[in-house]
């Protein structure tokens, strides 16, 4: 089985183009997926704008779809299964993989960076990277599993529990997913900073106790109002360009835990580490997702999404077909006018909630 399918590629600064690629039959341990939904991620936008190198492969790593063919020695899925895709490709043998932290694998590959990703009609992925969707989770919501796993990983590293009062810095998709993860782990209070009113509205719908202003001076005042002893956990989802690393250190409560999820997209000229020493803070770098203990972050993320799928529908603010991928990226960038949160490339059947698709 092989054929030609349409796919999107980066085509220089702030440009994408559609082209044809050959998709062969899945090899041993591989699966062919008919892509139904693929989200536009912040990392895709950094590549689009030239902040990061543009890959030569098809971008798009927030993927869900329907299995159409399986290679030899694949037993965990079968044709017709609705799945989401964890985009890592790893050896499974090194000490990092053996410990479940395959994100650190020295031979790590990634759909979009070392193989074609999901802004295409079809994609081939390793069978171990696939997760069957629960019956109540649509293919569109299934594509949210990848960003949800990022939030879950940070919450797990910071050991969020019912005793915690959590502050999430940032209300983009990752920040909103970190909010959902903190609520999943029973945090007694979760507040979120949001720059845009539509982000604040979704944060409150997902269970935030309060939405705080992102600007430093106002934030310092508001944190004192909502956290008597300061947040016990801070989940930072803005990144170095937003200068929020210092904010996290300064507003954290004594003995606080901080998980830094935001991307490194700007230079940090200086940072005052005195609060780390004086408040005995613990800082976790939270680069992506993997496995902690016996459970993978993707498995927990699916539980989070399946627990209240209708509430996560609000995150998907815009849907485009593959032919309109340029407009999809431009919409995702123009949040002030578009009020975009998660922009998705959708193909027919993206909203379907069934165990199997024939």
CATH architecture of the domain 151-285 equals 3-Layer(aba) Sandwich (3.40)
pLDDT at 239: 81
Of 21-25, 111-115, 215-219, 345-349, the poorest mean pLDDT is in: 345-349
17: pLDDT strictly greater than 90:
yes
pLDDT band at 351 (very low <50, low <70, confident <90, very high): confident
Averaged confidence pLDDT in the chain: 94
349: pLDDT strictly greater than 80:
no
Domain spans in the chain, listed from the N-terminal domain onward: 3-132+321-346, 151-285
Provide, rounded to the nearest whole percent, the portion of the chain with pLDDT above 90. Answer: 91
pLDDT band at 353 (very low <50, low <70, confident <90, very high): low
pLDDT band at 262 (very low <50, low <70, confident <90, very high): confident
Give me the phi and psi of 211, to 5 degrees please.
-110, 125
328-338 mean pLDDT: 95
Alpha helices in the chain (DSSP H): 42-48, 95-98, 139-142, 145-157, 173-184, 197-205, 216-226, 244-251, 274-278, 297-307, 309-312, 325-333, 335-338
pLDDT band at 337 (very low <50, low <70, confident <90, very high): very high
Residue-wise pLDDT tens digits, 170-215: 999 999 999 999 999 999 999 999 999 999 999 999 999 999 999 9
244-252 mean pLDDT: 94
Of 27-36, 124-133, 344-353, the poorest mean pLDDT is in: 344-353
Q: How far is it, in rounded angstroms, from Cα 86 to Cα 90?
A: 11
Contacts of 198 (CB under 8 A, 6+ apart): 317, 339, 341
Give me the phi and psi of 87, to 5 degrees please.
-80, 5
pLDDT at 348: 79
pLDDT band at 263 (very low <50, low <70, confident <90, very high): confident
358: pLDDT strictly greater than 70:
no
pLDDT at 294: 93
Homologous superfamily, domain 3-132+321-346: Medium-chain alcohol dehydrogenases, catalytic domain (3.90.180.10)
HEC per residue, 45-75: HHHHCCCCCCCCCCCCCEEEEEEEEECCCCC
Domain pair 3-132+321-346 / 151-285, same fold: no
Q: How far is CA 302 from CA 107, 279, 321, in A?
A: 27, 35, 25
Q: How far is it, in rounded angstroms, from Cα 33 to Cα 68?
A: 6
Residue-wise pLDDT tens digits, 125-164: 999 999 999 999 999 999 999 999 999 999 999 999 999 9
Q: How far is it, in rounded angstroms, from Cα 64 to Cα 143?
A: 5
Residue-wise pLDDT tens digits, 270-314: 889 999 999 999 999 999 999 999 999 999 999 999 999 999 999
pLDDT at 46: 92
Provide, rounded to the nearest whole percent, the portion of the chain with pLDDT above 70. Answer: 95
pLDDT band at 350 (very low <50, low <70, confident <90, very high): low
pLDDT band at 354 (very low <50, low <70, confident <90, very high): low
Q: How far is it, in rounded angstroms, from Cα 356 to Cα 178?
A: 30
98: pLDDT strictly greater than 80:
yes
Q: Are strands 257-260 and 282-285 parallel, antiparallel or unpaired?
A: parallel
pLDDT at 251: 97
242: pLDDT strictly greater than 70:
no
pLDDT at 269: 75
pTM here is: 0.95
346: pLDDT strictly greater than 90:
yes
């Amino acid at each position: 089985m092989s054929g030609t399918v349409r796919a999107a590629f980066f085509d220089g600064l702030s440009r994408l183009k559609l082209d044809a690629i050959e998709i062969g039959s899945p090899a041993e341990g591989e699966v062919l997926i008919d892509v139904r939904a693929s989200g536009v991620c912040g990392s895709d936008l950094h590549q689009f704008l030239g902040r990061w190198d543009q890959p030569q492969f098809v971008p798009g790593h927030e993927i869900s779809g329907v299995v159409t063919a399986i290679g030899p020695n694949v037993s965990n899925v079968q044709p017709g299964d609705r799945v989401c895709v964890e985009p890592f490709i790893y050896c499974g043998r090194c000490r990092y993989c053996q410990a479940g932290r395959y994100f650190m694998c020295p031979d790590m590959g990634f759909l979009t960076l070392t193989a074609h990703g999901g802004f295409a009609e079809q994609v081939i992925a390793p069978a171990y990277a696939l997760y069957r969707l629960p019956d109540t989770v649509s293919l569109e919501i299934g594509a949210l599993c990848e960003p949800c796993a990022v939030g879950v990983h940070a919450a797990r590293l910071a050991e969020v529990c019912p005793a915690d009062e959590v502050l999430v810095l940032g209300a983009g998709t990752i920040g909103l997913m970190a909010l959902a993860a903190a609520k999943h782990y029973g945090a007694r209070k979760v507040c979120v900073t949001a720059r845009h009113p539509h982000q604040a509205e979704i944060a409150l719908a997902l269970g935030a106790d309060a939405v705080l202003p992102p600007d430093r001076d106002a934030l310092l005042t508001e944190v004192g109002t909502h956290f008597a002893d300061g947040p016990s956990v801070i989940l930072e989802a803005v990144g170095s360009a937003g200068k929020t690393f210092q904010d996290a250190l300064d507003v954290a409560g004594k003995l606080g835990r901080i998980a830094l999820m935001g991307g490194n997209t700007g230079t940090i000229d200086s940072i005052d580490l005195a609060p780390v020493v004086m408040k005995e803070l613990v800082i976790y770098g939270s680069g992506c997702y993997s496995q902690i203990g016996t459970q993978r972050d993707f498995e927990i993320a699916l539980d989070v999404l399946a627990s209240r799928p209708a509430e996560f529908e609000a995150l998907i603010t815009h849907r485009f077909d593959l032919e309109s991928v340029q407009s999809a990226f431009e919409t995702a960038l123009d949040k002030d006018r578009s009020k975009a949160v998660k922009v998705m490339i959708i193909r027919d059947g993206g909203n379907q909630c069934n165990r199997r698709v024939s």
